[in-house]
Amino acid sequence: MRWMNKPISSLLHNCENLKSLKSIHARLLIDGSIFFSDVFLNKILRLYANFGALDHARKLFEKISQPNSFLWTALIHGHVENCLYDDSLLIFRLMLKQSVQPLSFTLLSVLKASARQSRIRDGESIYSLVLKYGLESDPMVQNAVIDMYSRCGEVDIARQVFDGMFGNMGVARALFEQMSVRDSASWNVMVSGYLDAGDLAAASSLFDEMPKQDVGSWNVMISGFCKAGKMNSARELFERMPLRNVASWTMMVDGYIRNGDMKNARCIFDQMPKRNLVSWSTIIAGYAKNGQPNLALDLFNQFKETGIEPDETFILAIISTCSQLGVLDIAKGIISEYVQDIHLYSMQLVTSLIDMHAKCGSVDEALQVFNEASTKDLVCYSTMIAALANHGRGRDAINLFYDMLQSDIKPDGVVFIGVLSACTHGGLINEGKIVFKMMVEDFSIKPSERHYACLVDLLGRAGYLEEAYELIQSMSIEPHSAVWGALLAACRIHRNANLAEVAARHLFKIEPENSGNYILLSNVYADLERWDDVAKVRSMIREQKVRKTRGSSWIELDCVVHEFVMGDMSHFDSSIIYSVLDLLFEDVKNFGCSIYYPTDDAERWI
DNA sequence: ATAGGGTTAG
């Protein structure tokens, strides 16, 4: 009956999407499992993984009575490729438990997983397996080991734990020198390791030593210089390289984006001879990250005309753009078009959905997505906690934080910012202090400027201005604008001119161009009817040539975003908008409220 | 081997 095999294998070979794969799989089930050779099973497993349908892959795998090494490896590799690193390591442990011997490719995959997670302990135990099975001479495995070390080398904690034994480039270099066969990848990996470790000089000299530099070598160098923020050097390499591919171009775009230089990023992007999905997601995510989500959305509309099929990463960038704009309708349109069953997608995507719902105003929908998610990691919890905090549900946020600790997830600095802000929004002063203490003492997390700003805000709002000021003075790091800003804002609320002056003096030194600080101080004086001082601040603004920060607002209507600045007359329907606004002001006045009427005259602000 | 992705105060 072997002749039956041919059509199936060609069917599988030409299978291009999840739907057709499912139908092939279903047909095979009906035809009878006799045709399920290990080779076909392997192919189906890999295809499910390619389409991101890991749960299908797992279901299929569970039905196999005695999976061989290749099937285990396919499942593990599929998880790694879909960034489900923890799961891949879990499956790997299961494989060892059942005494199935790993292949060198298996070890390669799990090495990558532990490298990506900076899990040096796992990496180390996998390396001991490499030695046990005598695979250490395989150049591919060696590259993965070097990659694992150099990637983990970025993690300070790992460095401390292993006390220089691991995570240093010395180990990687020694392995490199020992290698019997060095291909171009080995060289590139070494260069990239030095770059990750911040040793640009060593990377450059190794790059010069290379017997032959291919596009990859140049790209490794450019990517390193971009990450180090040395854009001039990166640009120089880019101009000098004999042959550029899409990755080279995209990397330059990304490099400028990382440095907040959207002008040059866009310039390179516009010059690209060829753009692919990665190029598009880079520039779109770049605009979103650099506070220009409107431009991101414009580019998304341009992207749609290219006919390129978006992938999960791309969708992620768009969803996070929508979160920033708060444009729920557009986001929902995108989700209904591209995201069918959230269980099929990565935790990152689920997290961005939670954030999106919360930022677009619906905590309940965010909670629904959160509760539906089968597994949750630290970032997922952090997002949900911050969402609850921003919606004033401080108590719920704190409860969720304790749930998280109960499920043995170790908190980091970010989640504590969420918890502290939950305390602030909920007026939970004591809890805030307890949480801060817990962070420092129980989890040995060094409080950052942001943590201090949260705590100052918490104390200040509650009226404990002196305590807040003492906290600032006790800080182990130099207090920056956010910390003094929180104190100044609290002084405004509680009309404390003395401390406001202290805070303002620091702020004027740190950010003399920020108009908000002058306005806040002047407001404190105005509340106390100290008009002479108000005049003094006003003249300071004139002398300092303070830049006026222009605020804008926007609204989404039928999936179109309309943006407005103060005194804006550019909108097509401006006259109607303003006449409605006038009516609204009349109404409010008739209710007996005094209102602030926006004008172009900045003096009116004070 | 080399390019894009989730959470962070006021």
For residue A424, say whether its CB is under 7 Å from any atom of strand B: yes
The pLDDT assigned to A9 comes to 64
Strand B nucleotides in reach of protein CB atoms, 7 A cut-off: 1-10
A211 CA, B3 C1': Å apart: 24
For residue A215, say whether its CB is under 7 Å from any atom of strand B: yes
The pLDDT assigned to A374 comes to 86
Q: How far apart (Å, rounded) are the C-alpha atoms in residues A472 and A458?
A: 13
Q: Which positions 367-386 on chain A have a beta carbon less than 7 angstroms from any atom of strand B?
A: 377-380, 382-383, 386
- Amino acid sitting at position A228: A
3-state secondary structure of A554: strand
DSSP A227-265: HTT-HHHHHHHHHH-S---HHHHHHHHHHHHHTT-HHHH
The pLDDT assigned to A453 comes to 95
The pLDDT assigned to A145 comes to 67
The pLDDT assigned to A517 comes to 80
pTM for the model: 0.66
Q: Which residues of chain A have pLDDT under 50?
A: 1-6, 34, 154-167, 594-606
For residue A141, say whether its CB is under 7 Å from any atom of strand B: no
The pLDDT assigned to A75 comes to 92
Number of H helices, E strands in chain A: 34, 2
DSSP A473-539: HT-SS---HHHHHHHHHHHHHHT-HHHHHHHHHHHHHH-TTBHHHHHHHHHHHHHTT-HHHHHHHHH
The pLDDT assigned to A390 comes to 94
3-state secondary structure of A563: strand
DSSP A390-416: HTT-HHHHHHHHHHHHHTTPPP-HHHH
Residue holding tokens 């494989």?
A95
> Which H or E element spans position A152?
helix A139-152
A450 CA, B8 C1': Å apart: 8
Q: How far apart (Å, rounded) are the C-alpha atoms in residues A79 and A199?
A: 32
A259 CA, B7 C1': Å apart: 21
